[in-house]
Structure 1
Amino acid sequence: MAFNFILVIAITLIVAFFLSKFMFKGQTKNLPKGSLGYPLIGETFSFLRAQKQDRGPEWLEERTSKHGPVFKTSLMGSPTVVAVGQAGNKFVLGTEEDVLSAKKPVALVAIAGKQNIFELTGSRYRLVKGAMVSFLKPESLQNYIKQMDELTKIMLLRETENKDTIKAVVTMKKLTFNIASSILFGIKDEHTREVLFDDFSLAFKAGWSVPINFPGTVYWRGLRARSRIVSRILPILKERREEILQGKLSPTSNVFSCLLALRDENEQPISDDLILDNYVTLMIASHDTSATLMSLMIWKLSTDSEIYKKVLDEQMDILRKREEGAEDRLTWAEIQKMKYTWRVAQELMRIIPPVFGSFRKALKDTEYGGYDIPKGWQVYCVSHGTHMNKEIFEKPTEFDPSRFENPSKPIPPYAYIPFGGGLHTCIGNEFARVEVLTTIHNLVTMFEWSQVFPDEIITRQPMPYPSMGLPIKIRPRKL
């Protein structure tokens, strides 16, 4: 069995090697310098290994020092041009979608689905984006604050009950998953959420893997997890559709009901497949990135007493100024007062961006920096190229939240990109801000904590997390 598996892998690599030779035979295009690496695999393993060791910037710098700020490689199963710097960010994120599409790598598309919002273009993209934005814009978020605050309190109390130590990363992942499931999609059943959480954990890892669909691989496990997610959500869609027809559910109740009520340009409902693909996509996008930032906030507050004191003072001041007799729930106005806490989050996202970079796909032959980019190739920009640039951010290696308060010079466009940029700027950035601030408010006002391992480092898996899961000793705060 093992020999047969190795033989299949070997044959696949050999075939891929000769196919790549055939595809580029006689090609006269002026491609950037660099290496496409091994057949099929490319440089994916070395890239992911560097990320896991928190050496992503070094991996990048090794290639830019050798080939310049524009170089070619092969990542996640596709030949890729990497463009580093502000101009590169603007090219990748700001070019019109008929030239560079937000289409994702092969593995991520297989997990998210072919009709996810990043794969859509034109009227279908605008239709689905409009439905999602209607639930993620500030006017709508104001209606979710109390529900999000209550859910956060309940989960934190439950996760810490009869415990003096918890793993903060797992707790934050559960919290963000339950907030998205409950508030955005109206999935209230706890057992359903628990099962979906386990499968989404597998699916997300597979989205950043080499797309080899053999039993036992991360990709194979992720595809099976996606199938189970679809099987569990389809009956929920059927039930919601019937409730809308019977007038029991408003089309504006949650994202599911809104998508079910959508009609295309021909007044036809959109397919279940499209709804499922965008459910998976939105859950992945809203779950892990927010959990990353929350975990990094807890990690930073654990290691920097000065930052912690300022955040604590700001959050306790909100409680002190709450009117006597007022409901013990956060309000939209109170969220807006958390300016310093959010600046800490902004600085964390500058130094340790949750997403290392952004992919686009060339829909036609194009060029950048004097080099040709063939149709079908990926292009990739990275946050590190500008976030740690001393010409843009003074003393970039220093942690200084005040740089986002009154910067001595404005931050130029496409230089700070934790939420992407251009046409496909993250539509959930405001939802993430409210979610993070609500969580940190409850953590610092309800609990005190300390790290079990003070020297715990950050690694990318592929998101940046404390390497040991951030175990913390936690106890209720004495007010």
Structure 2
Amino acid sequence: MSPVLVYVAIAVALCWITVYWRKRNIVKEKLKWIKEVPGLPLLGNSLEFRDPKTILPNSQKYLEQNNGLFQIAIGTRPLIIASNYKFLEWLLSSTTLLEKSTDYQFLHRWLEDGILITHGPTWKRSRKILTPTFHFSILEEFVTKFDKSIKTLVNLLSKEVDKDSIDIQLFMKNYTLDVICETAMGVDIDAQLNPESQYVKAVDAMCSIVVERAFSLLKMNDFIYRFTEEFKKETKYLEYLHSISNSVIEKKKQKLSDRETDKTDEVGRKKRTAFLDLLLKYNDVNGQNLSDKFIREQVDTIMFAGHDTTAMALCFILHCLSNHADEQERAYLEIKEICENTDVISYSDLQNLKYLELVIKESLRLYPSVPIYSRRINKEVIYDGDKILPEGVTIAICAYAVNRNPEVFKEPDKFIPERFLDSDIKPFSYLPFSAGPRNCIGQKFAMLEMKTTLVKLLLNFEILPAIPEHKLIISAETVLKSKNGFRIRLKRRKRAKKCYQNILATEVRETVDLSVKEDSSEQNVFSSIADERSSSTENYAFINEVQKRDLKEEINNWEIELGELREDEEHSEDIVNAEKNTKLKRKALSLILKMITYVLLVFLPVFLLLWMWITEKRLKDTSKYMKNVPGPKPTFPLGNMLDFAAGSKVYLKVIERYMKQYGDTIIVHDGCFSWLVVTIDYEFTEYLYSSTTHIDKSDQYNLFYGWLGDGLLTSTGTKWKKHRKAITPSFHFSILQQFIEIFENVGNNLITKLESEEGKDSVEISKIISLYALDVICEAAMGVKVNALEGKESDYIKHIKQMCSVFVTRAFSPLGEQFYPFTSTCYKEKESLKVIHRYIENVISQRKEERQKGSLSDKKKNSESDGIKKRLAFLDLLLDLKIDGQPLSMRDLRDEVNTFMFEGHDTTASAIMFCLFMLANNPEVQKKAVAEQHDIFGEDCSNATATFSNFNEMKYLDLVIKETLRLYPSVPFYARKLAEDVELKGTIYPKGMRIVLIPFLMHRNPKYFKDPEQFIPERFEDKSKRLPSYAYTPFSAGARNCIGQKFAVLEMLSVVSKVLRKYELLPAKPKHELQLASETILISKNGVRISFRKRL
């Protein structure tokens, strides 16, 4: 291989590693409030938590040490493990943090969009449809369905009576499989009598494959997994399982009409209905049936979720009863009293078994069927005021540890059913079926099945400890299991001989016979293949040994070469010749390069292929939802970026051209594997602006994080809501009045500055206005005069300007974020941020010190003699704020001041310069605006001082500003990231999609503005012709509109009024044509040129 290619590969790998670790460090920084368990480089804590038998003991140990909350790393991926009540109450009761973790992806090929693993609108729809199918009136019908399977189970267990030890695990698994097949699909598979059937084998094998993938670092990777034998087996099993489900659904559908005409049996009772029948008969609000795919996904999900979980629960209950004779006897006596003389157990009988229910609850407390639930944080959120949980982090909820919390359950490791007589147990301190919106939908069904089963077993058998005594080896897999099985001993009760002699009353037997006869065609589907059953659990230990052997061989090879190097080094001690020392160094360098090259050649291609495959798959999954959204055809590898190659001055023109060609909502590809939706569709715009869910800014706003941190512009979740609520009163008109003096003083400085420009044919005003806005915002935000207009450029001003330049360069750099850390721009940003943050923090500290000494309050008293309070800066208002009873931290203060500086500087400057330009080029409008000024201040008004009431009288000038912002909105586009799937006009826009709203184009839409390119302030005068709420959004709209818009309009009124009263504004000579460019704000690439003439 060419050395050049090797070094390029090394450079690319190092770049990727640097960027990856940078992002990883950002996540670690945000999670520093959670105690981290130290791990190994690259592997993290994978080895410690690899064995399913040690997961729960290790988790319990660290949870006890860290108040129920700690984090580990699986490889390099952070994982939070939790049992803390306050944290779980917040997490599980959330209606937004509902997404299951990526670990559930291993089930996707089997269950697809089944209710267990789907999320967003799809999950909500599924949950809404399925919930009524678990109503008690439906569950009541299922009670009699359990009976045939229980009879078979009792008969099989009768053959095991009086043995010293039997493992009940396989009995329970096959029994629950029989039950779930009959209740879910209305089909008897007789798994208990035919454990070798292909269907039983396929279900069992799929469960084993899922478990193995979850605990294999290699096989959990989809790309690598595709090349394994398990993938081939999974594909074969899934083809069979899906074909069975589809076949049963089809046959059921064909018989549905016959069943509708024959709903009752000979004695007038309704025939029992399977879960599948309920779905086939379901009609949505539009009268449409559910699709076969949807039905199959839900049936397969019920099959999976209702099989092993209930089987293991029954095994643990029987184990507990075998070792607690008193509790078993009490449960037996209760059952005997209620059910002994009843051949068929009724639903009401089961509800009366109160003590048996306590036994089940206590067993599920000690041994929850699902010991760990997990959630994925789908967007960055704030917990408990200021604790950040970054997007993408997985949280594992350790129900096993929650249920054994000694603060909630006294003597937590003891089996005490009576503890549940206490009704004061908190809802999130006991999690046998999860909790919150995503709790187990079938928990009532499971309880009913367990109760029915235990009634029949306890009436027939006494459950005794195995001989010798059996100790469980607990293992946390997809469900909680015992690695060494569940061994008990059975002794037949005296009354058991007659228990099943008349187990079925005549009419019940007839009903069952009819049901079996009726479903014979479905049963034929299951009688196809009965091969010899083989173990579905692969020899993971063997695979692991092979991996260890290969790794050992590689290490040995390196040790040989390093050994040779050491020998050379030993010889070199006796050689003083410099040439040989140089040779030794070269050999060492050569070995190091060889090692690096080997690593890169092996891992870099794999990583690149894996990344491309994952990205392509993700985009294909996304594209299937959005195939109806038009847009320009992308070209490899840049997407549509060539159309934008001319830079920011063409962005708006290109988008406008696209929309004229493809419509108001389009897809634009901003790379080979990346795209975004751009829209000016009013319905879409209204939906996003008015939403309280989709309020997160898009990923582009991450560019501001270094400067603005978690200020109002960039923060999300609870923190944003609390800060927004607390800061909003700071912009009340009574507060804004205090800033008018700043506007006036700095405005006078601007007038003085413009005197030197008077009479010139052409004056470029953008720099002057920018300095004016900077002076205003510094004094208003921090109470500090920087005198930027006077040319006294401090380090702070210099670096504020440099940061604005950095944003523009970074936002439109073709290199992308991966290479940004290696650019000179990144160096400039770090340099500027040090200066800016240090300056702001010094100002904050000085201000705090003044307040503590009381100097500020003394000044207030001295200045209140005339009834006017001393002017406060925005910083003072922040220092007075308290959120959750606590003052803002230094970091919070700095972030909010920086945000106010950024949002209130260039945006206002842009609006002012465009307003002056439009007045200069529209003399009739200017004439009306000046006449209004004379009406307010009198004819000789050039040196008048404006008050707040004067600004309220400037009705026409306010129209001029509104019309300027219509044509030239300071922020020409806003971007949002969808928090969940959104369906609009028949198209599903997936979660995470970036949506760009373009007020620049919306404001020029002839549907809402007649002659949209004309400057007509009067269009805003007629209030009878009200605009749609979201057709005009110069300050954004909805929950995340600009908090400082009143401040901005007041500043604009002040400065434009002052300039108009002093100067007549004229077009530049030669006439100046704006070259608009959409950067972080709307600017003119060639500046903004007008001329000034002093008014007489």
Q: Bin the TM-score by the shorter chain.
A: 0.7 to 0.9
Partner deviation per Cα, 1:219-238 (whole Å, 9 max, x = no partner): 66445433321122121122
- Which residue, out of 668, 682, 690, partners 1:86? 682
**Quick one: structure 1 residues 99 and 449, their matched pair in 2 at CA, closer, same or farther if it must change by over 3 Å?**
closer
Is 2:1073 the counterpart of 1:456?
yes
1:409 matched to which residue of 2? 1025
Structure with greater Cα Rg:
2
Is 2:926 the counterpart of 1:319?
no
1:427 matched to which residue of 2? 1043
- Which residue, out of 719, 722, 735, partners 1:140? 735
- Which residue, out of 861, 870, 886, partners 1:268? 886
Distance 1:447 1:345 in 2: 18
Normalising by structure 1, report the TM-score: 0.85
**Quick one: structure 1 residues 256 and 312, their matched pair in 2 at CA, closer, same or farther if it must change by over 3 Å?**
same
Aligned pairs for 1:159-174 within 5 A? 160-161=755-756, 166-174=763-771
- Which residue, out of 283, 298, 304, partners 2:901? 283
Q: CA deviation at 1:355?
A: 1.5
Is 2:198 the counterpart of 1:198?
no
Aligned pairs for 1:292-371 within 5 A? 292-320=910-938, 328-371=944-987
Residue type at the aligned position of 2:923: S
Q: CA deviation at 1:465?
A: 3.2
> Conserved in 2, the CA contact under 8 Å of 1:181 and 1:188?
yes
**Quick one: structure 1 residues 333 and 28, their matched pair in 2 at CA, closer, same or farther if it must change by over 3 Å?**
closer
> Conserved in 2, the CA contact under 8 Å of 1:71 and 1:83?
yes
Distance 2:799 2:633 in 1: 33
Is 2:829 the counterpart of 1:229?
no
- Which residue, out of 996, 1004, 1010, partners 1:394? 1010
Q: CA deviation at 1:118?
A: 3.2
**Quick one: structure 1 residues 75 and 219, their matched pair in 2 at CA, closer, same or farther if it must change by over 3 Å?**
farther
Structure 1 window deviating more from structure 2 (291-300 vs 102-111): it is 102-111
Partner deviation per Cα, 1:409-438 (whole Å, 9 max, x = no partner): 211110111111111121111111111111
> Conserved in 2, the CA contact under 8 Å of 1:182 and 1:188?
yes
Structure 1 window deviating more from structure 2 (399-408 vs 313-322): it is 313-322
> Conserved in 2, the CA contact under 8 Å of 1:104 and 1:119?
no
Distance 1:48 1:128 in 2: 39
2:713 matched to which residue of 1? 118
Distance 2:965 2:707 in 1: 25
1:241 matched to which residue of 2? 848
Structure 1 window deviating more from structure 2 (403-412 vs 12-21): it is 12-21
Aligned pairs for 1:34-45 within 5 A? 34=631
SS in 2 for 1:455: coil
**Quick one: structure 1 residues 355 and 369, their matched pair in 2 at CA, closer, same or farther if it must change by over 3 Å?**
farther
SS in 2 for 1:312: helix
Distance 1:168 1:143 in 2: 28
Question: How many residue pairs are counted as aligned between the two chains?
Answer: 469
**Quick one: structure 1 residues 376 and 35, their matched pair in 2 at CA, closer, same or farther if it must change by over 3 Å?**
farther
- Which residue, out of 73, 95, 99, partners 2:691? 95
Structure 1 window deviating more from structure 2 (295-304 vs 199-208): it is 199-208
> Conserved in 2, the CA contact under 8 Å of 1:36 and 1:79?
no
**Quick one: structure 1 residues 375 and 205, their matched pair in 2 at CA, closer, same or farther if it must change by over 3 Å?**
farther
Partner deviation per Cα, 1:329-372 (whole Å, 9 max, x = no partner): 10111111211112122112212222211111222333333333
1:20 matched to which residue of 2? 615
> Conserved in 2, the CA contact under 8 Å of 1:107 and 1:207?
no
Q: Percent identity?
A: 21
- Which residue, out of 761, 782, 807, partners 1:207? 807
**Quick one: structure 1 residues 122 and 216, their matched pair in 2 at CA, closer, same or farther if it must change by over 3 Å?**
closer
Distance 1:279 1:37 in 2: 42
Distance 1:198 1:461 in 2: 23
Distance 1:275 1:220 in 2: 25
Q: CA deviation at 1:92?
A: 2.3
Distance 1:157 1:428 in 2: 27
> Conserved in 2, the CA contact under 8 Å of 1:289 and 1:355?
yes
Distance 2:636 2:781 in 1: 41
Distance 2:656 2:638 in 1: 21
Residue type at the aligned position of 2:801: S
Q: CA deviation at 1:472?
A: 4.1
Is 2:1077 the counterpart of 1:470?
no
Distance 1:21 1:258 in 2: 50
- Which residue, out of 150, 157, 167, partners 2:745? 150
Residue type at the aligned position of 1:431: F
Distance 1:346 1:408 in 2: 17
Residue type at the aligned position of 1:83: T
**Quick one: structure 1 residues 457 and 317, their matched pair in 2 at CA, closer, same or farther if it must change by over 3 Å?**
same
- Which consecutive unaligned segments of at least 5 residues does structure 1 have? none
- Which residue, out of 251, 258, 261, partners 2:877? 258
2:575 matched to which residue of 1? none
Distance 1:142 1:74 in 2: 47
> Conserved in 2, the CA contact under 8 Å of 1:358 and 1:380?
yes
Partner deviation per Cα, 1:58-82 (whole Å, 9 max, x = no partner): 3223333454332233569974222
**Quick one: structure 1 residues 469 and 416, their matched pair in 2 at CA, closer, same or farther if it must change by over 3 Å?**
same
Normalising by structure 2, report the TM-score: 0.39
**Quick one: structure 1 residues 430 and 42, their matched pair in 2 at CA, closer, same or farther if it must change by over 3 Å?**
farther
> Conserved in 2, the CA contact under 8 Å of 1:360 and 1:378?
yes
Is 2:799 the counterpart of 1:182?
no
Residue type at the aligned position of 1:465: I
